[in-house]
Amino acid sequence: MPLDPPPPPPPGRPAAIHFLLLAGIVLLAAVLRLADLDGRPAGLFRDEVEKGYNAWALATSGGVIEFTMDRQPPLRWRTWPWMIDVMGSPTSAIYQYASIPFVRLGGLSVATTRMAAAVAGTLAVLAVGLLFMPAWGAGPGLAAALWLALSPWHLVLSRWALQSSFVPLLMALVLAGLWGAQLRRPWGWPLVGAALGWLFYAYSGAQPLVLAWGLALALIYRRALLRGGWPLVAGAVLFLIPVVPTVLATLAPGGAARLGAVAIWSDPAATPGGVLLRFITNYLAHLDPRFLFFSGDFNPRHGLSGAGQLNPLDLILLPVGLVWTLRFRRPLAWALLAAWLCAPLPAAITTEVPHGLRAYGMALPSAVWGGAGLWLVAGWIGRRSRRVFGILVWLAALAASASLVARYWTAMAGDPLALVAYEAGQRRAWEQLAAEKTPAQRVFIGSFATYAPYYHLFFMQVPPREAAARGLEPGGFYYFDQESTELATVANGMAPGDWLVFPVTPIPEGWPADAIAAGRPLLTPAEARRLRENWILLWQKPAE
């Protein structure tokens, strides 16, 4: 199929009708990302709980609660931090700061905790439209924005609270800065530097992408860089402002603890040759059509489980858009290709592959090419047959996207895999405790209940200053070490009406049947091990 571009209008200033269409696309993106944030996903993952509570703590008290678990005391109060130590793993505080307006105005809830991710995802769609309409023409620019709005990869990662939700938006801003630099606008290089720097800070998993992509961009735009000037100096300064403190925090003791646990070189028996082979294999796994278009990431937090990271139609549309941008030298074509090829690097250096979260940088260029490909294919068919057939192509693409959205909507409300992945057991247990616990009743919490202290603070709405001053045990909450204490021993010491919170996969053999009345594991042990999550049970000791 020839990839001839359609007739005019060529790239240029979009008309008013184009901005109205873009507004409709952005509205669609907002609805898909903001609707029912409380119930889809149905649970509340542990990282979300920490982010929501510490955003609330910043909004109300100007500080955060950290549980380091490896120091004394385990609970620590810090004011306006650059990085937050979350259970021994330092992470950027960008999400907590971005969430301040939402939890300040709407209070601490599941929906307000996730709202910053949804807004960032919506703004990414707006940024793509505003960039590619003048750069590529109104048609492909609008199609790129629409395809990102409907992207299953982007939708999943725009609806729960994680710092990587800012990756597509910041990448779009980098591309916008490059477009400005090509047009010799003074804001171009400063925007490139600032967006790359904040991308480096926002998500540690994106740092290899920033370094590799930045190097590739320096080679692609080497002639423009040689011209120098104050915009380039300003861009370098703006890049270093967030990068320097982030690097210093990473180099501090424990700063790279998370990477050290999952890196392909973490095995003491690893050899240089073995590490290189593992890296190549991991990298290619993210370019595998099965991962991109059909099977995707198993984890429902990283993609639509059982489906590809992208729309299956992208198997055709993405290559068409890619070839068109390169063959006809569309602006930013090589920058997009460099981003797409560099994006799997963060996932390739870890043991968990294919990984839809660490390779998330692929989502934006994939959607841009897919949208442009859709516009080209529909236009080509419409011009060489009847216009109605081009319209049918658009309708078929929209129907395929609608089916993926519907599949997401159904799965996130009650699919067993999604319930465990988003730790619905923890949420249900703590919501029930918040509703039913009386001051006289005690709650015993097993140490295997991951991030239980943050769930405690979040759902019991413990004021941050009070938590910092008094700790967690006032109010009848007691944490015990499950490695050294039998659950039966704890149960025997409980009074009637007391509560027990503990994780199970599967239910402990011989545990009494009345202990699991409130719930039971929804996955087989093999599935739970693969997902690396547990189901949380809440048991109340009956009256004797």
Q: What is the pLDDT of residues 133-150, one digit of tens each?
A: 999 999 999 999 999 999
Report the run of H or E that residue 67 belongs to, with start and end: strand 63-67
- What is the token pair recorded at 264? 């392909």
Q: Taking 80 as the threshold, does the pLDDT of residue 506 lie above it?
A: no
Helices within 203-332 (DSSP H only): 207-220, 222-227, 230-251, 257-262, 272-285, 289, 314-327
Q: What is the pLDDT of residue 472?
A: 82
- What pLDDT does 187 receive? 96
pLDDT of 119 > 50? The answer is yes
Q: Does residue 510 have a pLDDT over 60? A: no
* Distance (Å, whole) CA 427 – CA 155: 22
Query: What sign results for the dihedral spanned by CA atoms 108, 111, 117, 122?
Result: negative
* Per-residue tokens: 337: 């290709």
331: number of Cβ within 10 Å: 19
pTM: 0.92
d(CA 290, CA 309): 9
Residue 309 predicted with pLDDT over 90? yes
27-39: burial string, b at 16+ Cβ within 10 Å, e else: ebbbebbbeebee
Predicted local distance difference test score (pLDDT) of residue 257: 67
User: Residue 448, CB half-sphere, CA atoms under 13 Å: how many?
Assistant: 17
User: DSSP strand E in 412-514: where?
Assistant: 443-446, 477-480, 499-504
pLDDT, residue 483, reads 80
In the predicted structure, residue 9 carries a pLDDT above the cut 90: no
Per the model's pLDDT, the better-predicted residue between 13 and 271 turns out to be 271
Q: Which residues, including other chains, have CB under 8 Å from residue 213's CB and lie 6 or more apart? A: 174, 196, 338, 339, 342, 343, 361
Confidence of residue 183 (pLDDT cuts 50, 70, 90): very high
Tokens 């099977």 sit on residue: 295
Per-residue model confidence (pLDDT) at position 270 = 83
CB 140 within 8 A of CB 371: yes
Q: Read off the pLDDT of residues 376-426 as tens digits, 9 standing for 90 and up.
A: 999 999 988 888 898 999 999 999 999 999 999 999 998 878 888 899 888
Tell which wins on pLDDT, 436 or 532. Answer: 436
Taking only Cα atoms into account, the Rg of the chain, rounded to an integer number of angstroms, comes to 25
Q: Is a pLDDT exceeding 90 seen at residue 211?
A: yes
Sheet strands side by side (includes 499-504)? 477-480, 443-446, 499-504, 535-540
Least confident of 111-115, 155-159, 212-216, 491-495: 491-495
SS3 content of the chain, % helix, strand, coil (to 5): 60, 5, 30
* Other C-beta atoms lying within 10 Å of the C-beta of residue 107: 12
88 and 76 Cβ atoms separated by less than 8 Å: no
Cα–Cα distance measured from residue 179 to residue 183, given in angstroms and rounded to the nearest whole number: 6
Q: Are 51 and 99 in contact (CB under 8 A)?
A: yes
Distance from C-alpha of 62 to C-alpha of 136, rounded to nearest angstrom? 45
Q: Collapse the DSSP code of 303 into the 3-class scheme (helix H, G, I; strand E, B; otherwise coil) and give the result.
A: coil
pLDDT over 80 at 519, yes or no: no
Task: State pLDDT tens for residues 421-446.
Answer: 899 888 988 999 999 999 999 999 98
* Helix residue ranges per DSSP H, 460-535: 464-470, 487-492, 525-531
Model pLDDT for residues 318-371, shown as the tens digit of each residue: 999 999 999 999 999 999 999 999 999 999 999 888 999 999 999 999 999 999
